[in-house]
Amino acid sequence: MGGDKIRKDRRQKREDYRRAIRQDGVSELPRKKFYRQRAHANPFSDHQLIYPPHPDQMDWSSLFPDYVVADEEPQQPRRQQPDSSAAAPASSGAELAPLQPKRLSKEVEIADIGCGFGGLLVALAPTLPDTLMLGLEIRVSVTQFVEDRIQALRAQARRAAEAAEAEAEAAGSSPPPPAPGMYRNVGVLRANAMKFLPNFFRKGQLSKIFICFPDPHFKARKHKQRIVSATLNSEYAYVLRPGGIVYTITDVPDLHEWMVRHFEAHPSFERVPEPEQEADPCVAIMRTETEEGKKVERNKGQKHVALFRRLEDPEW
């Protein structure tokens, strides 16, 4: 009974903290201890996820509101074209929503699969300010943490810009030109990439996919749950444009060899040579900015990196 009460109290404290931090808009960076969740989630379980039956039905406007294009006229309903690559739920039907979702001036180009607490996304956002990027995370509490973290960073950047403008006016100088809002180009979704990746992204939409410190699933009977496999690599090839890159990093040598072996065996990928890999600025960020990467650094572990380029489709 005592253990149940302690767990209940902890759960209530987490809920109270999250409610309080959102009351007046998220402005302070969230604290991880109120969003903790077990590290492993079974990707084959029914997590009651919400996902679009087709990428054309995905409404990105709530994630990237600064990039919404004002529609002159409501778009007319149209039927979804058959697409065997996007598995639709049985209840989705064959039609799109009566009106199409709001359009964005840009498309999402970068996906961080299993983004964890969002360290990579937050580091990449100012480095690639003109590129929309999305984190996909299956755990509820961790997804909420990243949502609150992004909102807090946006609020802090907005306040910093307002302070700089006020300071310029007080000094009698011209205010700095308006800059694109920091962290407006990053978003996060709770999703199961192993099941529904083609439901969110069209063929050839992405330029980069990051797979950082994925669950190793050490036991042989669990290898089917690894995020890299012959089947899943075909889905990565589908959503990546030719020339796009899959970035992988892990501290588990066996998993590194597994990922290299499976990508090199796939006809749509070739491994990026090491000199080119090390010259890629995203690799340095991937090594140092993820939470798992920092943990490996503290434990003086070794990080294994491999990049794979999407090849051009052969002429049939």
Annotated catalytic sites, by residue?
215
> Does 185 show up as a binding residue in the annotation?
no
Q: Is 15 annotated as a binding residue?
A: no
Q: Is 72 annotated as a binding residue?
A: no
Query: Residue 228: which residues within 8 A CB-CB, separation 6 or more?
Result: 211, 214, 248, 258, 259, 262, 263
282 is in an annotated binding site: no
Ramachandran assignment for 172, one of left (phi > 0), alpha (psi -120 to 50 degrees), beta (any other)? left
3-state secondary structure at position 45: coil
Report whether 147 belongs to an annotated binding site. no
Beta bridge mates, 310:
269
Known binding residue 87? Answer is no
Q: Residue 278, annotated ligand binder?
A: no
CA dist 151 and 25 (Å) reads 8
Q: Report the alpha-carbon distance of residue 82 to residue 86 in Å, rounded.
A: 9
Can you give the length of the chain in residues? 316
Q: From the centroid of its chain, how far is CA 213?
A: 14
SS (H, E, C) 218-271: CCHHHHHHCCCCHHHHHHHHHHEEEEEEEEEEECCHHHHHHHHHHHHHCCCEEE
Binding-site positions for S-adenosyl-L-methionine: 114, 137-138, 192-193, 212, 290-292
Binding-site positions: 114, 137-138, 192-193, 212, 290-292
